[in-house]
Amino acid sequence: RGALLQIAEGVRHLHGLRIVHRDLKVRAGPYSAGWQAPEVLSRRIAGGDATPGGGGDDESGGGGGSSGGGGGGSRRAQAADVFALGCIFFHCLAPAAHPFGEWWEREANVLRGHAPQLPRIAAPLPDAHDLVRRMVRADPDARPSAADVCRHPFFWGDERRLAFLVDFSDRLEREDGASSALLLCVERDAARVVGRAWDRRVDAALLEDAGRYRSYDRASARDFLRLVRNKRHHFHELPPAARALLAPLPSGLLHYVESLFPRLLMHCW
């Protein structure tokens, strides 16, 4: 993740200077086609270059960065870099793979608007799946900026990830359950995220005193977040067996939660 963040920060820096790279790709072999965004491919083909991985003039995606004239610093021009960066991220996270298939079909799949093939990272890395899915959207206006990429939860450390879950739980507790659109959104897909009885997954040592002061709905994502928040705030008051499961803070508690419900962070974000 650190290496991918460094690459993203490099692109963010270029875009901050109104410079667009235009030729981000992985040169890992002879078949380096398929890294250009659909809008770039369309311009390139309209200009008469239908060669896979072909270049063309600077505006259509040929080698080297540019700035100034030709819309080099525009949001849409920068979005083409983000698309290529998303393909590179996927290639690194699922080695030798590409979100749009094999080298000979990638550009055709991109131009035809085929959905990216991302399931290889969906289960083990739901945060990476969310980020790459956003970066390789067909609509350039729907892609995140390079700065947004750098701020995505995929790059957060353990302390920040756990703090977000705790803070989000605090926010939910202030919501009016009868009318809160946020609560309705959180609970709508709760079964997909925490199951229909999350207590069956949680170790008994962590449930010993759960419900002493407030009851828990074992099918509620909000109530599971409350359990996480309470364990974080009262860690040093927990029985030794419970502390052993969650130590050290913050990594131990976060990893325990994510091992049970890996989609929780992105569901809340």
Catalytic, 170? Answer no
Nearest to 214 by CA among 173, 175, 265, 162: 173
Q: Report the 3 state secondary structure along 140-199.
A: HHHCCCHHHHHHCHHHCCHHHHHHHHHHHHHHHHCCCCCCCHHHHHHHHCHHHHHCCCHH
CA distance 97 to 93: 9
Q: Terminus-to-terminus CA distance in the chain, angstroms?
A: 19
DSSP output for 82-104: HHHHHHHHHHHHTTT--TT-STT
| Residue 64: other Cβ atoms inside 10 A | 10
User: Which amino acid does the sequence have at 263?
Assistant: R
DSSP 55: -
Q: Are 200 and 143 in contact (CB under 8 A)?
A: no
Say which of 23, 58, 148, 158 is annotated catalytic: 23
Q: What are the φ/ψ torsions at residue 66 (nearest 5 degrees)? A: -155, 160
DSSP 8-class letter at 115: P
Record the tokens describing residue 113, joined without a space: 């608007």
Q: How far apart are CA 70 and CA 57, in angstroms?
A: 11
Rounded Cα gap, residues 52 and 97, in angstroms: 17
Could you list the active site residues? 23
